[in-house]
Structure 1
Amino acid sequence: MINDKVIQLLEEMTIEEKIGQLTQFAGVFYSTSHSSTPVTGRIEFPVNQEMIDASGSVLGIAGAEKLLEIQKNHLEKNRLGIPLLFMADVINGFESIFPIPLGLGATWDPLLVEELQAVSAKEATSAGLHVSFAPMADLVRDPRWGRVMESTGEDPYLNSLFAKATVRGLQGSDLKNDSQHLAACVKHFAAYGLSEGGRDYNTVDLSERELREMHMPAYQAALDADVKLVMTAFNTVNSIPATGNKALLRDMLREEYGFDGVIISDFSAVQELIPHGVAEDEAEAAKKALDAGVDIDMMSLCYSHSLKRLIEEGKVELALLDEAVKRVLELKNELGLFEDPYRQTSVTREKETLTNSRHKELVRKAAEKSAVLLKNDNALPLSTSTNVALIGPYADNKDLLGEWSIFGKVEETDTLKDCMEKTFSHFAYSKGSEMYERNEKLLNEALYSASNADLIVLALGEGRERSGEGRSRASITLAPCQLELAKKLYELGKPIVVTLFNARPLDLTELEPYVNAILECWHPGSEGASAITNLLLGEANPSGKLTMSFPRTTGQVPVYYNAYTTGRPLPPGSDERFFSRYIDVANEPLYSFGFGLSYTSFKYSKLHLSSDQLTANESLTITLDITNAGEVSGEEIVQLYIQDPVAEVVRPGKELKGFQKIFLEAKETKTIQFEVTESMLRYYHSDLSYKSDSGTFHIYVGSSSESSKLTKLSFTLLDL
């Protein structure tokens, strides 16, 4: 229901004022005395003061002092006193930085993510922000794409849980009366994670059935959580750019899914309809975007330059403009900006919020739980008395926050060296190599340091400058100088533990034989070094599991666990020619979805299915015992997969349908159960109907998606 204040403003506004509400410019245009954060595209275009004064929202600038100043100056000039919206990419924390979303996915803990995002909202709102461009709900299968770091992985079910948790954490339950939460914006609608070749901004081409089956669930989960904004994608959908795609935005998002919030373009995406080849000029781009349902034109001049003329010429209906303006004004109303344009922002509140010690503790916990132990040949955990040589370009490197931590304080971030040298009684450090360039002097120094140690901790990875938006890679191996460093250290015959800092799955095939342990740390955040030190010492036990497969080689990509079955599946252990296989590498990834080791071991037993038949109105219960067979406590993530072996269309080999994360003391056993219902068996048929089919289904339960780690049960769904 539209608020009376919104209706009154619409009646009083001129066309120029209405168009202004639909334009968004970067913070650099509003404040000459304060710097704004980096932007993700071209900003050298002719924005005049009149456009700035009329605009409705600001991009990528934060800080209580500067935003209070900008808002105050704006309100003094704005005839109707309509406040600005301040929006920014607050992806994995504001100033208290937690792991990148791909790392958060590895926690398999949506409740933890919701708690983290609430902290993010608290900090961001104290600095004056109203909207966060999160969650990124794009399903990803190609690690060459730099933006895999913003996703939670390759599974639609898991992505849906994290998308919903992110929205809940950011928005809370009452935006109007709770100034410590902000509006969330789900992105990128739709299927941006499927960019061809893993190349950013590239073409996406897929069937509508695949779109609905794999890519839409996470966006829908965000909508179900009442997300306030949706951001369009840069890519095409059915050969039409998403930002000008009426079938996608109006028919599907608005009509089918019932979304009545704000649709905002991505950075300059309206103007990019021109180079896409679907608009001749700014006017046609503006018309197509508004017709499609885009309410805010982010960082282009198409709406500013063209909408008034299009309306005067009768090419765009005034009602269409009013519809978009209503949604923008209603968002401002939902945030309580008409009652308090400053939303209780103050320098004092900001200072108190950003120094909250609880936030520090929480982000450290998240970093511990996001780390994935990929390999451990009895090298970990370490003792404080271990004679350790810390070597590698990431050993004394503050680059732990990730590419999108634009408000984080890199200069205040501890390095792994900072934390480890305080902890180990026998400790040496040597850089060994630059990040991407070989250095003979550094290599020799590292070999000398390592020769006097009992064990080597080798800190490797790729920095933030090689991941994120616009940073796709054709080859996802570690730099040759880092691989050389590992091989030279291996020749010393000392155990080597790799701590890996990166923002995408990497090809680790060449590294893996030369090291005894690999701890995937991601870009772990502002307390990452402390968390990793705790993990190395066993003060925290690794519990993370991958949500995106690690390929054996870049040539395998895309490789993912829930692939469709083929007519010639490769039999286990076969090397015969005429099957779906590579002749030079295995089909399976090096590390698969759901994989992750612990310092203890877990035994699965007494797996039981309550019935071998299921009806539409009943459920089946799966029970099993999980035993911690080791000597230390730990967490296990028990995973439930279902396969539909005979269907109307080809189905995935297995699909994640549930999981439980349980904590067990040493030698402790717990009984857990899963419920299976008919609704879990539904899928999109060739006519796009969403339903299940009667017949046999297979259930797999285990510690990862690897077939060898799963136990199989079967049941029959009776005729509905």
Structure 2
Amino acid sequence: MGNKFKPLFISVLFVTCFVSLSFIDPPKYRDLNKNGKMDPYENINLPIEKRIDNLISLMNIDEKAGLMFINGTLINTDGSIDKKEGATGMATRIPSARDLIVNKKMNHFNYWQAPGVKELAMGYNAIQKVAEESRLGIPVTIASDPRHYFSNNVFAMEANGFSQWPEQLGFAAINDPVLTQKFGDIARQEYLAVGIREALHPMADLATEPRWPRVSGTFGEDANISARMIEAYILGFQGKQLGNTSVACMTKHFSGGGPQKEGLDPHFQYQKGQVYPGKNFNYHLIPFEAAFKANTACIMPYYGVPTDQTSENVGFSYNKDIITKLLREKYKFDGVVCTDWGLVSDTHIGAVIWPARAWGVENLSEIERVKKIIDAGCDQFGGENCPQYIVQLVKEGKIKESRIDQSVRRLLRQKFILGLFDNPYVDVDNATKIVGRADFKKLGEDTQRRSMTLLKNDLKLPLSVSNKLKIYVKNVDFKIASQYGIIVALPEQADIAIIRLNTPWVPLDTDNPFAKGFHHGDLDFKGKDLEDVLTLCKTVPTIVDIYLDRPAVFPEINSSAKAVFGNYGASDAALLDVIFGIAKPEGKLPFELPSSMEAVRNQKEDVPYDSKDPLYAFGFGLHY
């Protein structure tokens, strides 16, 4: 653990105060031998597999079961980790790390609530201290969804001081593996500074179904570009080999979550299976093959049922054909396989019940679901706090403890390789110097600009910054825009207009607040939203910028606007710098932009760039 002695210091201590060693309280694994006695020399320099053997021999079934679960916890705004009296909202539903470590024997967490950088590091150290005080002192692994994206993606955590970059789509638009690896290395350093040792990314899914709400998290619809980006991304986070300065990548969602039927996401019960009308299942494996080449530490399967692709129509994590036969046997993957969140038990959000994503096995009990997931070949349960089921299964002889030990070994191996057993703590002051470092931020901002995709340029951009140019802006910060010209209140007063739009979406008709945040549904502009933009375009020469978290359908706007940009997460300053020639757009579309919703509905969910007569083809992008 973190305050364990370094080898040289151990030697000095052993010589000068040997007797005192027997009174260190509490003894931790690093200094334990098989008999549970202190021995500062026996284990510290042994090969990792021997250290794992030793630790497994000391663990009881409760500790082994706890290791196989990962779920959310919180850090308060002051860096503390226990629940506050009078807490409201999500904070009332999030279990404390102390509770999960002490009562559930868990030691893998992701954050559902986190403060600023200094407090994040403080809270992380506090969590590790609680873990150190447990019977064996097994250190905690903290995982995280992306924290670096400039976006409103439902899965992107608030940046809170981290450098800000475009989403994965932006890197695909630039198509520069060297840049992608550099991003991974910078994100690694920032994660490492606050104790995040596992990235719940990248997404290797392909955006072959334009209506899917998670398109923004992908590298687009082309398997080969995605494969290049995936390999570079993982190398940036992990290095060529996983080690004590790495952040382990959990590449997702095996074997490809993109081809969802009509784009409806299987997070929710409205659609439980993905489809392959183009018989293109293997195409979606190509980015994962690149992840294996880069030695991704972990794999996460998705929720949906790969309809009629395996011997039974059950969700990926329940599917032995997918996890054991394909992932383990064909691809020889021996890293950690962790389910996506919430496959076993229902989630209660106030009066709303969000059903467990147990698609294809809804009739199984919770404990039967746990068994089926383990039998399929998975090692860890995401978003669940029920290790008691594994304990019961082993005690009843329904799962052999030797099978549990296989998963425990994989999970412990990752902790050992990451160096968590040697020093899990972080330097709080150093964290504030690393996270959001000036050069990190600058490269992130430069990358936002490079990723901008120019689709139409009848205005002969770039413009020149001028104190005479009258600009009308909508959905753009007035203060930032005023640095480029004179901001006017009405379109009729302007020489040009600049408007930023989001790709349309239709909220699901549901009481589930999380489901309402998913961008499902049609991609085209309709009604007043469309008329307002067209009126602006008729009034003044207009530059339109669209946030392409999914492929927008906008033929009328495209015809009326004088210039059109697409972005994948970029600030107002990034857009304006490109419009005014301070930076240049380099992006090319990572997916095609369909010409109509009819074309969207007629394309095949599993096939790339196959809509009829797209407005803009895959790979299109103008430069200047």
Counterpart in the other structure of 2:364: 280
User: Contact conserved, 2:70 with 2:385, CA < 8 A, in 1?
Assistant: no
Counterpart in the other structure of 1:412: none
Picking from 337, 344, 355, the partner of 2:420 is 337
Structure 2 CA distance for aligned equivalents of residues 233 and 257 of structure 1: 18
Counterpart in the other structure of 2:481: 420
Residue 114 of structure 1 deviates from its aligned partner by 1.1
Residue 99 of structure 1 deviates from its aligned partner by 0.6
Residue 192 of structure 1 deviates from its aligned partner by 1.1
Counterpart in the other structure of 1:250: 324
Picking from 484, 487, 506, the partner of 2:531 is 484
Structure 1 CA distance for aligned equivalents of residues 594 and 278 of structure 2: 27
1:72-116 Cα deviation digits (max 9, x unpaired): 12211x111111110010264551120111222111112111111
Change (3 A) 1:352 1:86: same
Structure 2 CA distance for aligned equivalents of residues 349 and 421 of structure 1: 37
User: Greater CA deviation, 538-547 or 464-473?
Assistant: 464-473
Picking from 537, 549, 555, the partner of 1:503 is 549
Residue 423 of structure 1 deviates from its aligned partner by 2.6
Alignment: residue pair count:
524
Residue 539 of structure 1 deviates from its aligned partner by 2.1
Counterpart in the other structure of 1:147: 214
User: Contact conserved, 1:460 with 1:482, CA < 8 A, in 2?
Assistant: no
Structure 2 CA distance for aligned equivalents of residues 273 and 382 of structure 1: 51
Change (3 A) 1:60 1:561: closer
Change (3 A) 1:535 1:55: same
Report matched runs for 1:383-462 at 5 Å.
383-385=464-466, 387-392=469-474, 394-396=475-477, 417-424=478-485, 426-428=486-488, 430=489, 449-462=490-503
Picking from 258, 268, 276, the partner of 1:193 is 258
User: Contact conserved, 1:548 with 1:592, CA < 8 A, in 2?
Assistant: yes
Residue 50 of structure 1 deviates from its aligned partner by 6.7
Q: Which amino acid aligns with 1:160?
A: A
**RCO higher in structure (CA 8 A, sep ≥6):** 2
Counterpart in the other structure of 1:291: 375
User: Contact conserved, 1:187 with 1:231, CA < 8 A, in 2?
Assistant: yes
Q: Which amino acid aligns with 1:236?
A: V
1:274-313 Cα deviation digits (max 9, x unpaired): 45435510111011111111111112245x1311221122
Counterpart in the other structure of 1:471: 518
User: Contact conserved, 2:132 with 2:138, CA < 8 A, in 1?
Assistant: yes
Change (3 A) 1:35 1:322: farther
User: Contact conserved, 1:148 with 1:503, CA < 8 A, in 2?
Assistant: yes
Residue 451 of structure 1 aligns to a residue whose secondary structure is: helix
Root-mean-square deviation over aligned CA pairs:
3.1
Q: Which amino acid aligns with 1:591?
A: Y
Counterpart in the other structure of 1:80: 136
Counterpart in the other structure of 2:281: 211
Change (3 A) 1:349 1:164: same
Picking from 110, 122, 137, the partner of 1:65 is 122
Residue 368 of structure 1 deviates from its aligned partner by 1.3
Change (3 A) 1:377 1:50: closer
Q: Taking structure 2 as the reference length, what is the TM-score of the superposition?
A: 0.78
Which structure has more strand as a fraction of its residues? 1
Picking from 99, 105, 122, the partner of 1:54 is 105
Residue 533 of structure 1 deviates from its aligned partner by 1.6
Q: Which amino acid aligns with 2:487?
A: F
Residue 380 of structure 2 corresponds to residue 306 of structure 1: no
Q: Taking structure 1 as the reference length, what is the TM-score of the superposition?
A: 0.68
Picking from 281, 287, 305, the partner of 1:236 is 305
Picking from 496, 520, 527, the partner of 2:566 is 520
Counterpart in the other structure of 2:398: 315
Q: Which amino acid aligns with 2:553?
A: D
Counterpart in the other structure of 2:592: 549
Q: Which runs of 5+ in 1 are unaligned?
A: 397-416, 431-448, 567-585, 600-720
Residue 491 of structure 1 aligns to a residue whose secondary structure is: helix
Residue 391 of structure 1 deviates from its aligned partner by 2.3
Counterpart in the other structure of 2:352: none
Report matched runs for 1:22-37 at 5 Å.
22-28=68-74, 31-32=82-83
User: Contact conserved, 1:53 with 1:74, CA < 8 A, in 2?
Assistant: no
User: Contact conserved, 1:43 with 1:299, CA < 8 A, in 2?
Assistant: no
Between the aligned residues of both structures, percent identity stands at: 27
Structure 1 CA distance for aligned equivalents of residues 131 and 207 of structure 2: 40
Picking from 218, 225, 250, the partner of 2:294 is 225
Structure 2 CA distance for aligned equivalents of residues 456 and 248 of structure 1: 52
Q: Which amino acid aligns with 2:557?
A: L
User: Contact conserved, 2:62 with 2:388, CA < 8 A, in 1?
Assistant: no
Picking from 247, 253, 256, the partner of 1:182 is 247
Residue 351 of structure 1 deviates from its aligned partner by 0.6
Counterpart in the other structure of 1:262: 336
Counterpart in the other structure of 2:445: 364
User: Greater CA deviation, 320-329 or 537-546?
Assistant: 537-546
Change (3 A) 1:146 1:546: same
Structure 2 CA distance for aligned equivalents of residues 286 and 199 of structure 1: 26
Q: Which amino acid aligns with 2:376?
A: A
Change (3 A) 1:285 1:456: same
User: Contact conserved, 1:105 with 1:547, CA < 8 A, in 2?
Assistant: yes
Q: Which amino acid aligns with 2:146?
A: V
Change (3 A) 1:252 1:34: farther
Counterpart in the other structure of 1:102: 169
Q: Which amino acid aligns with 1:523?
A: G
Residue 324 of structure 1 deviates from its aligned partner by 0.4
1:466-506 Cα deviation digits (max 9, x unpaired): 799861422112364442222222332x3211122341111
Q: Which amino acid aligns with 2:61?
A: I
Change (3 A) 1:488 1:66: same
Q: Which runs of 5+ in 2 are unaligned?
A: 1-46, 76-80, 115-119, 150-158, 346-355, 509-513
User: Contact conserved, 1:364 with 1:530, CA < 8 A, in 2?
Assistant: no
